[in-house]
Structure 1
Amino acid sequence: MSNVLRLAIVDPNDGDREALKATLMGLDTVWLEAECSRYAFFKDVVEETHPDVAFISMDADPEKAIELVEELARQKPEVALLVASSSTDGAMILRSMRAGAKEFLTKPLRPDDLATALQRIGRTRFGAEGAGAGSCRVIAVSGCTGGVGSTSLAINLGCELASNPTNSVVVLDLDLALGDADVYLDTIPEYTLTDVAQNIGRLDFTLLKRSLTKHSSGVYLLPRPVQLEDSKLVTTDDLTRVINLLRATFTHLIIDTSKAYNELDLLAMDLASDILMVTQLDLPCLRNVVRLMMSFEQRGALREKVKIVVNRVGQGGASISVKKAESTLGQDIFWQLPNDFRTMIEVRNNGVPLLEQAPKAPLTQSIQQLARELTGGSSAGESDSGAKSGRSWLGLWGKKGAAEEPASAEG
C-alpha cells in the first residue's frame, strides 16, 4: 500500500528503542523498516532502506543528534525527520526544528502523540485522502466445529474482495496442522507462514509479496507450514509481526483460524476488525457457539466483534429454525448462506473459486452481498430496507419473519 509510512529509527538506549518498537507495532499504517543503535551508522541505514520517516532519539547525545538531523535534512530531503527527547528546553527544540526536523516529541512517548505526528507526516506525503486510507480491514473467519465451511467462506470472501481493483487482499491460513486453503486455490506454495515468520526482520513490502502465493483472482495466500512439526516454530510474537506487516501492506486481511482456538487463533481474533463465526442450524454447532461466546466474554471486547454466519441454510433435515437459533444464541444472526453443497464440492475439487466457476450461483451472490455488507460497499441507491433484506437468505425475503423459515422449507 502506498499510504503506509516506512520508518527507520535510531536510539542508543536499548530499553527506549524496544519500547518504541512495541508502540509502532500497534499502528497499522506504519512499518518499521530498520533500526539502529548508533548515530554514526544511521545515515548509512537511511541510505540503504529509503524510509519515509527517520525517527531520531536525541537523549544519548543531543549535539550529535542535531548534527545528524542537519546532515539528513541536507542529503535526504525526501525523508521526514521526527525527533524525540525527554528535555523540554526551548532552545534545543528550536535548534532541532531549524536543523530540519518536521516533528518534535517529548519522552516518554505517548502513543497518541506519536500517532498524531505520523498522521501529520502522512497527510503531507500522501494528501488528506491517502493519510486516512491506510487502515487495513482484518477479518477472522472461525468455525464452531470442523466441516461447517469456514475455509470455503474465507477463500471465496477473499476472492470476492480482490475482484475490486481498488483492494489488495491476502488470506492467512492459520490452521497450522491441517489447513487446506491452498487446495481451494489449486496452488503449490513456495513459501509458508513459517518461512515468513522466521525472516520477518528482513522483509519489506516487495519481498513480502514475493513470499506469498498470488492466485489468478488477485488474492494472495500465506499458507500453513508444509511439515507438521514446523507449526511449533510460530510464536505469538512472530504472528503479531506477520499480521502487522500484512495489514501494513494490504487493504484486507482474511485470517482462516483453526478449530483449536489456541493462543495464535485468539491473538488473531484480538487483532481482527470483525470475527465471522460460521455455524449451521443444528444443536451441536449452536451449542459450541454458545460455549465460545461465553469464553470470549473473558477477553475484553472480543465478543462484540463476533458476527454469526449460518452456512448451508435450506439443507434437508434441518430441525432448528433461524428464529430458534437466534433465541438460543442470544444475538441476531448476521448472515445466512444458502445450501449449495454440490457446487461447493465442485469448486473445491477443481481448485477454482466460486466467482470464476459459478458466478451466478445463489451462494456466490450471497458472498458478494456479504462482502459489500462488511466493507460498506453497498450502492448509494440502496435503501435501508434493501440492505437489511440482504441479510436474509440471498435477500429473497424482504422481511425478517420470512427469513426464518427457509431452513426447513428448502431441500
Structure 2
Amino acid sequence: MKNVIRLALVDPHDSSRNALKTLLLGIDMVWLEAECSKYEFFADVIMQTQPNIALIALDSNPQKGLELVSRISTELPTTQVLVISSSTEGSLILQAMRNGAREFLNAPLKLDDFLAAIDRIQQAGGVRTSDGTVRSSQVIAVAGVSGGIGCTSLAVNLGCALASQPSASVAIIDLDLALGDADVWLDIIPDYTIQDVADNISRLDYALLKRSLTKHECGAFLLPRPVQLDDRISISPEVLRRVIALLKATFTHLVVDISKSYGPSDLAALEVADMILLTTQLDLPSLRNTVRLLQFFSNHEGLSEKTRIVVNRIGLEDSQISLTKALETLGREVFAQIPNDYAVMVEARNNGVPLIIQSPKSRLTKSFTQLAQQLIEKPQASEEKPDESKKPRKGLFSFLSTAKST
C-alpha cells in the first residue's frame, strides 16, 4: 500500500456513510483504513490506526462531532481532519475550523470537492502517504514548435519509459483532437475516447473515466483522441481541467500531447502542467518557431518558468546549425537531447510497439529512459527558472541563415 492516503471516517447515518464509502472506494489514491458509526468510538479507532486523514460527518450530532474534531487535532496532529455537513451555517463552519478542521466540505460530498481539498492540503505539506512521502502527481505537457517535430513519439515513448519505473503510474492524454495518432503508436483500438469523457462530464466519475482509458502492456494508460473527425470535436478548458484533476488522483505522471494549434484547451493543459517539454530541432524553421513560442509563453503567467527545451533528432545529417550556437542564441539550456535514429523509430511506429519493448538496448530508448528517471528522481527540476540574463539575441534569424549557409 505504497503511495496511498490512508483515511478513516465516522458517520452515524448509515445511508450517508455508505454513500461516502462508495465514493472513497473508487479513488485509487485513497485507502479506506476504517469506518465508524459512532462518535464515541472514533477517537480510539484513530489512535489505533493513525490514518493520514480523519473524515468526520457532523449532521448526526454537530456538538459531538466538533468535540471529536478538537480532540483528534490536539492528540494526533499528524492526522488531518476534514469535516462534512449539509449545513451552511457560518457559525458551524467557523467553530469547526477553530477546533482544528483543515477543510469544511458540503454534503452530499462531490468527488471534485474532495479531490480539491486533498490537493490543497498536499500543497501545504499536510498529508503524507503510507510510505512517509508527500503524494504528488506530475503533469508533463509535450509541446512542439511545428508539425512532424516528434512530439507524439516523445510523449508516447516517455510515457512508456515512465511506466516501466516501479514507483510510477502513467496516463497519456492525446489532445490533438483532429489528427492525433498516439493510439497508432501503441497499436490500440479504443472503445472510448476523450470525447466520450467530455460528453458525459456532468456525471463523470472514476468508473466512467477508467472505462475510457486503455492500458498498454508496458503499463501506461491512454486516453485517445476522438475516432470520428467531425464538427463535434470540442473539449472545453474547464472539462480538460476536471479530467486532469481526476487523473491526478490515480496516476503519478500524466503526459499530455497537445496539438500545434495552441488553442484554449492546449493553453489550459500548459497552465495546469508542472513542466512543459518544448520540442524542437536544429533547423531554421524549428528554431524560428521556438523563439516565437518562448515569447508567447512569456506573455502568459507561469508558462515560461516551467518550459524546458528538448532537442529531438540530434545528429540529423541535414542539420547544419550547431547545438551550442542555437541554444546560445535562444538563451536557454537544453533539458534533454533525443538522438536521431530513423530506422529504429520508424520500425517502432509501424509496429505499434513502444521503444522500451521494441528496442530496449538502442541509444534512442536509453535517452527516453534517462529522461524518465530524471523526471522521477528530480521533479524539482520543473521549478528551476530560466537564466534571465540570457535573452534571445536580436537578429536571430539572420544569424541562423548565416549559420545554415556556412
Normalising by structure 1, we get a TM-score of 0.69
Shift of 1:147: 0.5
Shift of 1:89: 9.7
Shift of 1:272: 0.7
Q: Where does residue 20 of structure 1 map in the other structure?
A: none
Q: Where does residue 132 of structure 2 map in the other structure?
A: 129
**Which letter does structure 2 place at the counterpart of 1:66?**
P
Distance 1:369 1:113, change over 3 A: closer
Alignment of 1:299 onto 2:295: no
Q: Where does residue 184 of structure 1 map in the other structure?
A: 185
Instruction: Check conservation: 2:143, 2:260, Cα contact below 8 A.
Output: yes
Distance 1:212 1:86, change over 3 A: same
Q: Distance in 2 between matches of 1:262 and 1:219?
A: 26
Aligned pair partner of 2:90 in 76, 86, 91: 86
Instruction: Check conservation: 1:83, 1:104, Cα contact below 8 A.
Output: no
Q: Where does residue 234 of structure 2 map in the other structure?
A: 233
Structure 2 counterparts to residues 25-64 of structure 1, below 5 A: 42-43=16-17, 45-46=19-20, 48-50=22-24
Q: How many residues align?
A: 330
Q: Where does residue 339 of structure 1 map in the other structure?
A: 340
Distance 1:5 1:294, change over 3 A: farther
**Which letter does structure 1 place at the counterpart of 2:219?**
G
Q: Which sits farther off after the overlay, 207-216 or 137-146?
A: 207-216
Spell out, residue by residue over 1:115-144, the C-alpha distance to the aligned partner (whole angstroms, 9 max, x if none). 349979845xx44715x1x21011111110
Q: Distance in 2 between matches of 1:226 and 1:343?
A: 28
Task: Name the SS for the 2:350 alignment partner.
Answer: helix
Q: Which sits farther off after the overlay, 360-369 or 201-210?
A: 201-210
Instruction: Check conservation: 1:176, 1:231, Cα contact below 8 A.
Output: no
Distance 1:198 1:349, change over 3 A: same
Instruction: Check conservation: 1:139, 1:275, Cα contact below 8 A.
Output: yes
Q: Distance in 2 between matches of 1:269 and 1:334?
A: 17
Alignment of 1:328 onto 2:324: no
Q: Distance in 1 between matches of 2:16 and 2:142?
A: 42
**Which letter does structure 2 place at the counterpart of 1:269?**
L
Task: Name the SS for the 1:344 alignment partner.
Answer: helix
Shift of 1:330: 1.5
Distance 1:315 1:198, change over 3 A: same
Q: Distance in 2 between matches of 1:233 and 1:116?
A: 33
**Which letter does structure 1 place at the counterpart of 2:291?**
V
Structure 2 counterparts to residues 253-402 of structure 1, below 5 A: 253-376=254-377
Distance 1:235 1:112, change over 3 A: closer
Distance 1:57 1:348, change over 3 A: same
Q: Distance in 2 between matches of 1:320 and 1:230?
A: 41
RMSD: 4.1
**Which letter does structure 1 place at the counterpart of 2:120?**
A
Q: Where does residue 386 of structure 1 map in the other structure?
A: none
**Which letter does structure 1 place at the counterpart of 2:132?**
E
Q: Distance in 1 between matches of 2:187 and 2:206?
A: 25
Instruction: Check conservation: 1:88, 1:106, Cα contact below 8 A.
Output: no
Task: Name the SS for the 1:139 alignment partner.
Answer: strand
Instruction: Check conservation: 2:198, 2:239, Cα contact below 8 A.
Output: yes
Distance 1:375 1:66, change over 3 A: same
Q: Where does residue 390 of structure 2 map in the other structure?
A: none
Q: Distance in 1 between matches of 2:348 and 2:213?
A: 22
Distance 1:234 1:135, change over 3 A: same
Instruction: Check conservation: 2:194, 2:212, Cα contact below 8 A.
Output: no
Spell out, residue by residue over 1:224-245, the C-alpha distance to the aligned partner (whole angstroms, 9 max, x if none). 0112236533211110100101
Q: Distance in 2 between matches of 1:114 and 1:346?
A: 41
Q: Distance in 2 between matches of 1:80 and 1:243?
A: 26
Q: Distance in 1 between matches of 2:273 and 2:24?
A: 30
**Which letter does structure 2 place at the counterpart of 1:312?**
R
Q: Where does residue 109 of structure 2 map in the other structure?
A: none
Task: Name the SS for the 1:232 alignment partner.
Answer: coil
Normalising by structure 2, we get a TM-score of 0.70
Q: Distance in 2 between matches of 1:289 and 1:326?
A: 10
Q: Distance in 1 between matches of 2:54 and 2:201?
A: 20
Instruction: Check conservation: 1:239, 1:264, Cα contact below 8 A.
Output: yes
Q: Distance in 2 between matches of 1:344 and 1:281?
A: 18
Q: Which runs of 5+ in 1 are unaligned?
A: 9-38, 74-78, 379-406
Q: Distance in 2 between matches of 1:114 and 1:221?
A: 24
Q: Where does residue 62 of structure 2 map in the other structure?
A: 66
Instruction: Check conservation: 2:155, 2:255, Cα contact below 8 A.
Output: yes
Shift of 1:166: 2.1
Instruction: Check conservation: 1:138, 1:254, Cα contact below 8 A.
Output: yes
Instruction: Check conservation: 1:159, 1:353, Cα contact below 8 A.
Output: yes
Q: Where does residue 400 of structure 1 map in the other structure?
A: none
Task: Name the SS for the 2:173 alignment partner.
Answer: strand
Q: Where does residue 26 of structure 1 map in the other structure?
A: none
Q: Which runs of 5+ in 2 are unaligned?
A: 26-31, 33-52, 70-79, 106-112, 380-402
Task: Name the SS for the 1:366 alignment partner.
Answer: helix
Instruction: Check conservation: 2:5, 2:130, Cα contact below 8 A.
Output: no
Task: Name the SS for the 2:300 alignment partner.
Answer: coil
**Which letter does structure 2 place at the counterpart of 1:46?**
L
Task: Name the SS for the 1:264 alignment partner.
Answer: helix
Q: Where does residue 103 of structure 1 map in the other structure?
A: 101
Q: Distance in 1 between matches of 2:208 and 2:324?
A: 49
Distance 1:280 1:231, change over 3 A: farther
Instruction: Check conservation: 2:82, 2:102, Cα contact below 8 A.
Output: no
Q: Where does residue 115 of structure 1 map in the other structure?
A: 120
Spell out, residue by residue over 1:280-314, the C-alpha distance to the aligned partner (whole angstroms, 9 max, x if none). 10011000010011111111120111111111111
Distance 1:115 1:278, change over 3 A: closer
Shift of 1:204: 3.9
Distance 1:368 1:120, change over 3 A: closer
Distance 1:113 1:5, change over 3 A: closer
Q: Distance in 1 between matches of 2:124 and 2:301?
A: 28
Distance 1:298 1:253, change over 3 A: same
Distance 1:293 1:181, change over 3 A: same
